[in-house]
């Protein structure tokens, strides 16, 4: 019997010098590493408050204290594919074999809340796809009741054209889509400053 909804949290396996690299001008390698760990845990905790079953999808497997802690309540799925689109497509297909609705989120948006997830669930009752746009031109969340392959290929991942290109593909496919209010994620130095302004108790890096 399928789950009603499944949330898949995407994250890079914690690697010193290999995460949050766009923030190296502000934080050193260790600071980027610690920020990645904190964001991954914060997003996971926010997802848990929704009551929706969630898993953690990583780009590699390995032994790590934080990953081991999260794995106690969020089963681990290995990402498969050569780029972000292929990895998300595989995760969406995998999820829809197990749930009627699948939500994929990154680990960069600490303001994604229970309320957002419940609104996404509600919108999926009458839409094929639901997105929460990001302020940088991408999106922080994609949710679907089907795997529409065109939205996962020929997209300029990491650019400010991601959402626009995705919208065009959905329009061409005549899909019923809902776009919720945009949020922001932590990718650039100005995003980090916004983060610490919003959360004064955020761990100092």
Q: What CATH number does the domain containing 173 carry? A: 3.90.550.10
Examine residue 163 and state whether it is found in any structural domain, yes or no: yes
Q: Which pLDDT does position 165 carry in this prediction?
A: 97
How do beta strands 99-105 and 3-11 pair?
parallel
pLDDT of residue 3: 95
- Residue 205 resides in a domain: no
Which pLDDT score is estimated for 142? 98
Domain that holds residue 153: 3-198
Q: What is the DSSP string of 47-69?
A: HHTTT-EEEEEESS----HHHHH
Supply the pLDDT for residue 129: 98
- The whole-number pLDDT of residue 1 equals 87
Check residue 16 and give its pLDDT. Answer: 94
204 within domain boundaries: no
pLDDT along the chain (205 residues), means of 10: 96 96 92 96 96 97 95 96 97 98 97 97 97 95 98 94 96 96 94 93 84
- State how many domains the chain has: 1
Q: Is residue 97 part of a domain?
A: yes
Assess if residue 39 is contained within a domain: yes
């Amino acid at each position: 019997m399928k789950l009603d909804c499944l949330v898949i949290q995407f994250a890079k396996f914690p690697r010193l010098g290999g995460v949050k690299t766009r923030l190296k001008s502000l934080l050193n390698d260790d600071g980027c590493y610690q920020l990645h760990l904190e964001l991954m845990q914060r997003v996971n905790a926010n997802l848990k408050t929704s009551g929706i079953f969630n898993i953690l999808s990583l780009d590699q497997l390995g032994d790590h204290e934080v990953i081991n802690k999260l794995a106690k309540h969020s089963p681990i799925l290995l990402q498969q594919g050569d780029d972000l689109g292929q990895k998300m497509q595989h995760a969406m297909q995998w999820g829809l074999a197990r749930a009627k609705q699948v939500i994929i989120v990154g680990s960069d948006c600490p303001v994604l809340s229970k309320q957002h997830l419940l609104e996404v669930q509600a919108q999926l009752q009458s839409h094929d796809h639901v997105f929460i746009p990001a302020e940088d031109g991408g999106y922080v969340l994609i949710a679907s009741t089907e795997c529409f392959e065109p939205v996962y290929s020929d997209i300029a991942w990491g650019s400010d054209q991601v959402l626009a290109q995705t919208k065009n593909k959905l329009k061409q496919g005549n899909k019923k889509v809902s776009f919720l209010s945009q949020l922001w994620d932590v990718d650039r130095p100005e995003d980090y400053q916004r983060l610490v302004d919003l959360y004064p108790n955020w761990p100092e890096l």
